[in-house]
Amino acid sequence: MIPAAFDYHRPKDIAGVLALLAEHGDTARVMAGGHSLIPMMKLRMTDVQHLIDLQDVGGLSGIEIGSTSIRIGALVTQAELIDHARLAIAAPILREAALQIADPQVRYMGTIGGNVANGDPGNDMPGLMQCLNASFTLAGPDGERQVAAREFYEAAYVTARSDDEVLTAVTIPMPAGGHAYEKQKRKIGDYATAAAAVQIVNSGGTCSSAAIAMTNLSDTPVFSEAAGAALVGSSVDNAALNAAVAAMLEDIDPTEDNRGPVAFKKHAAGVILRRAIERAWSRA
Amino acid sequence: MKDEISRDDRVANLKGMGCSRKRVEDARFTQGKGNYVDDIKLDGMLFGDFVRSPYAHARVTNIDTSAALKVPGVLAVLTAADLAPLGLHWMPTLAGDKQMVLADGKVLFQGQEVAFVVAVDRYAAADGIDAVVVDYEELPVIVDPFESQQSDVVLREDLVALDGSIPPGAHGPRKHHNHIFTWSAGDKDPTLEVIANAEVVAEASMYYHRTHPCPLETCGCVASMDKVNGKLTLWGTFQAPHAIRTVVSLISGIEEHNIRVISPDIGGGFGNKVGAYSGYVCSVVASIVTGKPVKWIEDRMDNLMTTAFARDYHMTGKIAATPEGRITGLWCHVTADHGAFDACADPSKFPAGFMNICTGSYDIPTAFLEVDGVYTNKAPGGVSYRCSFRVTEAVYFIERMIEVLAIKLNMDAAELRRINFIRKEQFPYKAALGWEYDSGDYHTAWDKALATVDYAGLRAEQAQRVADFKAGKTRKIMGIGLSFFTEIVGAGPVKNCDILGLGMFDSCEIRIHPTGSAIARLGTISQGQGHATTFAQILASEIGLPADSITIEEGDTDTAPYGLGTYGSRSTPVAGAATAMAGRKIRAKAQMIAAWLLEVHDNDVEFDVDRFVVKGSPERFKTMKEIAFAAYNQAIPGLEPGLEAVSYYDPPNMTYPFGAYVCVMDIDVDTGVTEIRRFYALDDCGTRINPMIIEGQVHGGLTEALAVALGQEIAYDKMGNVKTGTLMDFFLPTAWEVPNYETDFTVTPSPHHPIGAKGVGESPHVGGVPCFSNAVQDAFRPFGNIHTNMPHDHWRIWQMANKLGLHG
Ligand SMILES: Cc1cc2nc3c(=O)[nH]c(=O)nc-3n(C[C@H](O)[C@H](O)[C@H](O)COP(=O)(O)OP(=O)(O)OC[C@H]3O[C@@H](n4cnc5c(N)ncnc54)[C@H](O)[C@@H]3O)c2cc1C
């Protein structure tokens, strides 16, 4: 549990970060809260020769709540998400999800940017961002670009971000309707056995839109368009719930690990999604 | 002379036995001022760490250390070849086997120590480890003890004779090259006969999975060889510092007076820190070689994967009874997976520990137990994780067998226990498997427990829940977990308990200072039990000086009297008794001093709380404080000056704490998530020294029981890879997972212990594991469950429900 030697850099701005990334290529890594990266370095599973600490980089903090969207700086911690009173009203699902991540100590350090950029299928924020149809701002040598969360994840630890880019912000269209983040885990500090993010709109007793994403049930987060579609137009009755669960099960591809065999994970995913939809609908 | 304060106040001022004195240790622990082994920093200290095997079974064909020696800061790399000339490449285990210190031609489990890199700090050591190149030739891996006993693959070539025959081991003949021992207790044929002729026989096979004690502080040491005076000082996380000193002397050849072993503050042991580990030997050798102090500290993964696992018992039982539920016989066979080396920490004559306490709290006239120990490609160990030797296994076995019998008889499991309990008047009770239980009153404890939780009401609620579940009104079922346990602790009488030939007595030495304060040193060592608090309380009551004026010191072999250490709940039963006995010696001398001072005969004064008074004239007295001073400033005819005593206590018997636990649990059959609604724990540990510490011990032990029952395991895949090597997968409960515990007690003193105390630190673990497990299993009993193995984590509970058809 001792990392290999590395050089430590602490640039003051994005330009400085980009310059270091350009100079050192894939031997460099940016560090936000360090709560995914440092364990990997200690296990010597990630070889980082140049560690670029983002803590002093300006412009990466802050939560801005606009009329149609919310912008969250990459360095905003999970604890800040939880404590932000206006965010809790504008997008309560963020708080509900963040409270189910790790423990308070980790949440004081772990950032939203690190959580979504990491690419670990166990992270909770990526699925949530897909549910909310967020987009990520990436700054690179050729300037900024936006990538939709639903397009960002390619495989475990492989994302649309290239090595010379930094994620600077997350932008979320103002969520509407009822929400729920439901997560089954073995204990505090554990990644999900199965987790579901649901945002659903009730128009006079009929579901007019529904977005559903699942976590830790494939090598990437799973945005299940079909599961959401199964609810739209229904009164979210039992038949619609069954159809949504069935559609979701088509989209996930869990593997066996210490959390259990595939059959169990599929069963748990179904139960968790059903509960998430029911809770979200009750709030819609 | 007239005293200002009342007798009650004098008693209270002592903070003696029975009061919830605050723990004196906590001031430093809660302020981060503890002194653990990793806090020890010496001038020029080096750091050593291991190259470990990635394979569970492989030949080591070459170790190339040349690149590692070029890593900046690396000073030396030790391999078996370097230790062999000293005869230190292997070391004896506590179980009469031997164990490789560093891989000698092959490795037998994943994580086994292959080479020891010594460097200026732990960073350089880690880089050095990466640079050591080891060539392995993989061999077939055996992780299943049943397969092992059939396999042609020889795990331990060193234990097969040149002609291919299998010489006997430390515990008699061996049946196969991968077999270690067969050990039995009780009467085989009569037991088989009872079972053959019984009207009712219930059977079960159960696997008590492999787990790990996982103390918060891992194992480690600092070895410092002073080449000028020839003295070796060894600081370490030792649960038995004196035994370690003797072992180090025997294997290193350094004379014992030249070795000083110090256990500083220890951050939990739970059995993990009883054994001798390669890290100790290599640190000592490295210090001798380099002439500098050498530190070795395990990281969490090393700790979980290599030092001292617990359990891994495959148990098969048959229990015979009359149709009315009177138990007539019990048969038990265990296949014990000991891993690659037999490094169990048990008294020498008990290779399966006290597994023969498996008749439990019941009057079972005929019984037989047989245990086969087997080698596999897993880490060695088999320690008593928060229990006396294999007592958790025994109690789990019998408490499951009772439940299985209750199912067979279609009887209530609480009632079945009640009609089979050993009755109060049967104590001292001689059990069929050999032990003599000292005291107990099981019926009173059981009735109190069941009344407190409203057992009948719970059963009615459960019946309603079953009906609701079947009617589709709920997906949650309810379990009522029962357990009644009897422990056997306080090893133990020297006539039958020793470790490496060292009798398992314990000791206390007391010095009273002239001003009426004192220091007492013991052969035990606290790892969180609060000895500095409780032993001072025993002494306060025995010698009449305030506990706050008594320092308790343990763990330094240069100052403490010889003792066998702390594990198996032996500190209070053995060292606590020694403390009381030494205190009584002090008191006896104090009585003579008091009589002389008061100018009466010795027999004319009597002890009263904190003083000796002249019988019949309470106004004529000498306080212990006055007596202490007199011991140092008066020339008393016929008495030596000073006031000191030492006692080495060889207990006449072990003690048998018991308790009654009830757990109420709700289980979601779809997710397998359990919710503990209520946990009631009644403990009878005899005389209660400090109720608050007892409560703390019970909470801790129950939490570790919850962990083991509901998910804590060391799991291997077929290749012998450890699947649970980090705290992400190895379940260590936090405040979040832990329910609110209700504690209660009855008091049945031990008749043979000087103060009647029995020990409590391990009871909650021993009784808790079956209680949590029984709660899960009881929830599924109405749906056809007979026995399902632990750990009951989410997916396994889901699987239980699935097998019973509860998912439609
Ligand atoms: C005990 C424990 C339990 C946990 N449980 C959970 C859990 O239940 N759910 C969960 O979601 N997470 C969990 N985590 C992870 C935690 O939330 C991490 O903090 C988070 O995944 C990463 O955020 P970070 O800021 O710490 O990122 P870092 O560890 O600093 O970085 C993670 C990765 O992202 C990259 N990165 C970071 N920031 C940027 C950026 N701005 N631009 C580009 N790349 C970037 C880094 O280079 C690195 O590869 C747990 C962590 C621990 C230690």
Distance between CA atoms of A184 and B290, rounded to whole angstroms?
Answer: 53
Contacts of residue B284, defined as CB under 8 A and 6 or more positions apart, other chains included, come to B223, B225, B232, B234, B248, B252, B294
- The verdict on B680 and B786 lying in the same domain is yes
Residue B155 lies in a domain: no
Q: Identify which of B120, B152, B129 has the alpha carbon closest to the alpha carbon of residue B139.
A: B152
The predicted complex's ipTM stands at 0.95
Q: Identify which of B233, B237, B259 has the alpha carbon closest to the alpha carbon of residue B246.
A: B259
Q: Is A45 on the interface with B (CB under 8 A)?
A: no
- The verdict on B342 and B397 lying in the same domain is yes
Residue B397 lies in a domain: yes
- The verdict on B289 and B323 lying in the same domain is no
- The verdict on B278 and B337 lying in the same domain is no
Which CATH number is B67's domain given? 3.90.1170.50
Which CATH number is B640's domain given? 3.30.365.10
pLDDT, averaged across chain B: 96
Q: Is B548 on the interface with A (CB under 8 A)?
A: no
The answer to whether A279 and A180 are in contact (CB under 8 A) is yes
B386 carries an active-site annotation: yes
Residue B162 lies in a domain: no
Q: Hey, what are B500's tokens?
A: 């490496």
Work out the number of other CB atoms within 10 angstroms of the CB of residue A8: 9
Residue B300's alpha-carbon distances to A223, B214, B234, in angstroms, are 36, 8, 22
Of A2, A191, A258, the CB nearest to B126: A2
- The verdict on B696 and B617 lying in the same domain is no
Catalytic residue among B762, B771, B777, B781: B762
* Boundary residue ending a domain (B649, B681, B709): B649
Residue B765 lies in a domain: yes
B112 carries an active-site annotation: no
For A266, name the nearest residue in chain B, comparing CA atoms only: B671
In whole angstroms, what separates CA B784 from the centre of its chain? 35
Confidence at B667, pLDDT banded by 50, 70, 90: very high
CATH number of A179-283: 3.30.390.50
Residue B778 lies in a domain: yes
Encode B343-375: b = buried (16+ Cβ within 10 Å), e = exposed: bbbbbbebbbbbbbbbbbbbbbebbbbbbbbbb
* Boundary residue ending a domain (B633, B649, B665): B649
- The verdict on B254 and B354 lying in the same domain is no
Q: What's at A139, amino acid-wise?
A: A
Q: What's at A259, amino acid-wise?
A: R
Residue B186 lies in a domain: no
Q: So where are chain A's domains?
A: 7-53, 63-172, 179-283
B591 carries an active-site annotation: no
| Dihedral sign computed on CA atoms, order B777, B363, B765, B455 | positive
At B643 the pLDDT is 97
Q: What is the pTM of this model?
A: 0.97
Q: Give chain B positions within 8 Å (CB) of A186.
A: 711, 731, 793-794
Residue A138's alpha-carbon distances to A18, A59, A149, A163, A164, in angstroms, are 11, 13, 12, 11, 10
CA–centroid distance, A88 to ligand 1, in Å, is 22
Q: Is B610 exposed, middle or buried (0-12, 13-18, 19+ CB in 10 A)?
A: buried
The answer to whether A11 and A52 are in contact (CB under 8 A) is yes
At B181 the pLDDT is 98
- The verdict on B478 and B514 lying in the same domain is no
Architecture of domain A63-172: 2-Layer Sandwich (3.30)
C-alpha torsion angle, residues B153, B159, B164, B169 (rounded to 10): -110
Q: Give chain B positions within 8 Å (CB) of A268.
A: 670-672, 794, 798
B762 carries an active-site annotation: yes
Q: For residue range B433-492, what is the model confidence (pLDDT) as tens digits? A: 999 999 999 999 999 999 999 999 999 999 999 999 999 999 999 999 999 999 999 988
3-state secondary structure of B64: strand
Mutate which of A54, A101, A183 for ligand 1 pocket (most atoms within 8 A of beta carbon) = A101
Domain topology for A7-53: 3.30.43
DSSP-derived letter for residue B362 is B
Please write down the HEC assignment for all residues of chain A.
Answer: CCCCCCEEECCCCHHHHHHHHHHHHHHEEEECCCCCHHHHHHCCCCCCCEEEECCCCCCCCCEEECCCEEEEECCCEHHHHHHCHHHHHHCHHHHHHHCCCCCHHHHHHCEHHHHHHHCCCCCCHHHHHHHCCCEEEEEECCEEEEEEHHHHEEECCEECCCCCCEEEEEEEECCCCEEEEEEECCCCCCCCCEEEEEEEEEECCEEEEEEEEEECCCCCCEECHHHHHHHCCCCCCHHHHHHHHHHHHHHCCCCCECCECHHHHHHHHHHHHHHHHHHHHHHC
Residue B538 confidence (pLDDT) above 80: yes
Place of tokens 């053995």: B574
At B587 the pLDDT is 98
Residue B1 confidence (pLDDT) above 70: no
- The verdict on B643 and B658 lying in the same domain is no
Residue B251 confidence (pLDDT) above 90: no
Residue B418 lies in a domain: yes
- The verdict on B660 and B589 lying in the same domain is no
The answer to whether B701 and B529 are in contact (CB under 8 A) is no
At B499 the pLDDT is 86
Work out the number of other CB atoms within 10 angstroms of the CB of residue B732: 16
Ordered alpha helix ranges (H), B599-736: 624-633, 691-710
C-alpha torsion angle, residues A59, A61, A67, A69 (rounded to 10): 90
Per-residue model confidence as pLDDT tens for chain A (284 residues): 899 999 999 999 999 999 999 999 999 999 999 999 999 999 999 989 999 999 999 999 999 999 999 999 999 999 999 999 999 999 999 999 999 999 999 999 999 999 999 999 999 999 999 999 999 999 999 999 999 999 999 999 999 999 999 999 999 999 999 999 999 999 999 999 999 999 999 999 999 999 999 999 999 999 999 999 999 999 999 999 999 999 999 999 999 999 999 999 999 999 999 999 999 999 99
B179 φ, ψ to 5°?
-95, 140
Q: What's at B265, amino acid-wise?
A: D
- Write out the residue range of the structural domain in which residue B793 sits: 309-491+654-803
Find out whether the peptide bond into A173 is cis, omega within 30 degrees of 0.
no
* Boundary residue ending a domain (B297, B331, B363): B297
Of A1, A189, A271, the CB nearest to B301: A1
Strands B113-119 and B74-78: antiparallel
- The verdict on B43 and B62 lying in the same domain is yes
The answer to whether B772 and B737 are in contact (CB under 8 A) is no
Q: With residue B573 as reference, give the H or E element that holds it.
A: none
Domain count of the fold of chain B: 3
- The verdict on B30 and B47 lying in the same domain is no
Residue B343's alpha-carbon distances to A101, A184, B97, B288, in angstroms, are 40, 39, 7, 26
C-beta atoms of B670 and A267 within 8 A: yes
- The verdict on B255 and B285 lying in the same domain is yes
Residue B149 lies in a domain: no
